[in-house]
Amino acid sequence: MDLPPIHVPFLGASGFMAIVMLLHMIFFANFVVGGPVLAVVTEYLGLRRRDDRYDLFARHLANMLFVAMILGPVLGVGIVALNTGLFPRFFSTGARAFFWPLAIEIVAFLLEAVFIVAYKYTWEGLRHRRRLHMTLGLLGALGSWLSMALINGLASFLLTPGKWVVTRRAIDAFFNPSFLPSLLHRAVASLSLAAFFMVGYALYMRRREPQPGYSAWALRYAGLWAVVTTSLQFVPGVWYLQKLPAEVWAKFLAGPLTPYWFGGILLAAAAVLIVYFASQDAQAVLARRVLRGMVWLAIPMIFATTWLMGFSRERARKPYLIYGVMYGNQQWVKAPTESKPAVSADARSLFQTHCAACHPAIGGDPFEKSRAYSTDEALAAFLRDPESAGKPSMPPFGGNDEELQALISFLRSGGR
C-alpha cells in the first residue's frame, strides 16, 4: 500500500499510536489479563478459609472486570483502525505474517468476554456450586491469557523478528527469540497492575466499609499481591533483555534509554516499598491522610513504570517499525523479493513517502532544519546516514541519487 501518510498534529503518527496503545495496555488489557486470576484465587481462598471478606473482594473485582470488558474493546478496535490508516504498509505486513494468530485471538477474546460476564452474573445463582462458578472464572482467565499470548507474539516480533527475515514463515514470526521471556514478563506485569488497582480499591472502600476492618484487610491482601508480583518481574525482565540484539541491549544498559529504563525500575521499587510498609500497618495508614496519600501515589508510580518500560521498548526499535526490516516511514530496509516500479522523483510525493510521518510533528520543521546544512552535499550526507549525525531515531533516505536531489531541492525551497 503506497498511500500518502495521514498527518497527526503535534504528536505525529507514532506518538499518537503510542499514547492510545499505552492507555489500552495499562487501564484495560493488563487488568483484564491479571484480574480474573486474582478474582478466582481470592474466591477459592474465601471458600477454603470460610472468610466472607475474600468473597466480597473477588465479587467487587468481577464487577470492575465487567466494566473493563465494555470499555477495553473500544480502544482495541481504535488501535486496529489507527494502524490501518496511519501505517498501512506496516499493518498489512503484520496482518499477513500473523493472520492465523490474530484470527484465533478473536475467538480467545469472545471466550474471555463470555465467561467473565458469566462469572459476574452467576455469583448468586451458583452460590452453592462454587466450584462451577470458579470454573467460569478460570475459563475467562484462559481466554484472556490466550489473547495475551497471541498479541505478545506480534508485539515481541517487532523488536526481534528472528528467522522470519529469511524464511517469511508465520511460525518463525510468532515464536521469535523474545517470545517466551516477553510473555512471562507481560503475564507477571498483568498480575502486578491488577493488584495495584485493587490497592486503590482498598483505599476507596475506607469510607464504605461493608464490615468493620474490611478496607484494612483489603489493603493488606492487595498489597501482598502487589509486592510479590512486582518483585517477580525482575527475572523475566533480565531474560527478555538477554534475547534482544546486542546493540539494542546496549541502549538499555549504557545508552540513551538508560535513564528511562532505570527510572522505571526505581519508580517500581519505590511503589513496592510504599505498599509493603502500608500493608504492615494498614489500619494506621488508612487513618492518616498523609499516609493514604502516599499509597495513592504508589499507584500512578507503577503506571509510570509501565509507561517508561513501554516507551523504552518502542524507542529501542527506532528507526524501525520492524527491527532491521522496515523503517519508521514504512520503507523497507531491503526491498522485498518481488519487483516494484521505480519511485518517481516528484519532490512532494517523496516528502510525503519518506518524511511526512514524523515531520513537522514530533520531528520538527524539516525546512527549518535543512537550513542548518550549508551545502547540499552536507544535507545529502545527513539524509543518507542520520545516525552518524546523532539522529538514531530517523530512518535513512532510501531513494536513488535523483530522488535525493529532488527532495533536497524541495526542502531548500520551503516546500514550494
When pLDDT is cut at 50, 70 and 90, the band that residue 5 belongs to is: low
pLDDT of residue 385: 87
pLDDT of residue 348: 81
Query: Tell me, which fold does domain 12-327 have in CATH?
Result: Formate dehydrogenase/DMSO reductase fold (1.20.1630)
Q: How far is residue 250's CA from residue 374's CA, in Å, rounded to a whole number? A: 34
- 525482565: which residue's cell? 237
Phi-psi region of 82 (alpha: psi -120 to 50; beta: other; left: phi over 0): alpha
Q: How far is residue 234's CA from residue 11's CA, in Å, rounded to a whole number? A: 32
pLDDT, average across residues 178-199 = 97
| Per-residue pLDDT at 63 exceeds 70 | yes
Judge contact between 254 and 270, C-beta under 8 A.
Answer: no
Q: Is the dihedral of CA 187, 190, 191, 192 positive or negative?
A: positive
When pLDDT is cut at 50, 70 and 90, the band that residue 410 belongs to is: confident
Judge contact between 26 and 17, C-beta under 8 A.
Answer: no
Question: What pLDDT digit, counting tens, does each position of 263-274 carry?
Answer: 999 999 999 999
Judge contact between 302 and 265, C-beta under 8 A.
Answer: no
In 3D, which of 184, 11, 168 has the Cα closest to residue 94?
168
Judge contact between 331 and 398, C-beta under 8 A.
Answer: yes
pLDDT of residue 342: 43
Cβ of 88: how many Cβ atoms within 10 Å? 16
When pLDDT is cut at 50, 70 and 90, the band that residue 353 belongs to is: confident
pLDDT, average across residues 71-79 = 85
pLDDT of residue 104: 95
| Per-residue pLDDT at 146 exceeds 70 | yes
pLDDT, average across residues 232-240 = 94
| Per-residue pLDDT at 187 exceeds 90 | yes
Torsion of CA 298, 302, 304, 307, to 10 degrees: -170
- Average pLDDT over the chain, rounded to whole? 89
| Amino acid at site 294 | M
The pLDDT > 90 percentage for the chain reads: 59
When pLDDT is cut at 50, 70 and 90, the band that residue 278 belongs to is: very high
Q: Is the dihedral of CA 24, 25, 29, 30 positive or negative?
A: negative
Question: What pLDDT digit, counting tens, does each position of 6-61 carry?
Answer: 777 777 777 788 788 878 888 889 999 999 999 999 999 999 999 999 999 999 99
pLDDT of residue 3: 57
Q: List C-alpha distances in Å: 137 to 68, 113, 193, 225, 350.
A: 15, 11, 19, 19, 53
Q: What are the start-end ranges of the E strands in 205-345?
A: 320-322, 326-327
pLDDT of residue 331: 86
Per mean pLDDT, which range of 19-23, 122-126, 151-155, 375-379 is the poorest? 19-23
Phi-psi region of 168 (alpha: psi -120 to 50; beta: other; left: phi over 0): left
pLDDT of residue 341: 41
Residues spanned by CATH 1.20.1630 within the chain?
Answer: 12-327
Per mean pLDDT, which range of 78-87, 193-202, 236-245, 337-346 is the poorest? 337-346
Q: What is the pTM of this model?
A: 0.83
pLDDT of residue 145: 97
Judge contact between 115 and 145, C-beta under 8 A.
Answer: no
Query: At CB < 8 A and 24+ separation, what contacts does 98-102 make?
Result: 98/153, 98/154, 98/157, 98/170, 98/173, 98/174, 99/170, 100/170, 101/150, 101/153, 101/154, 101/170, 101/174, 102/150, 102/154
Question: What pLDDT digit, counting tens, does each position of 287-321 carry?
Answer: 999 999 999 999 999 999 998 998 898 889 888 99
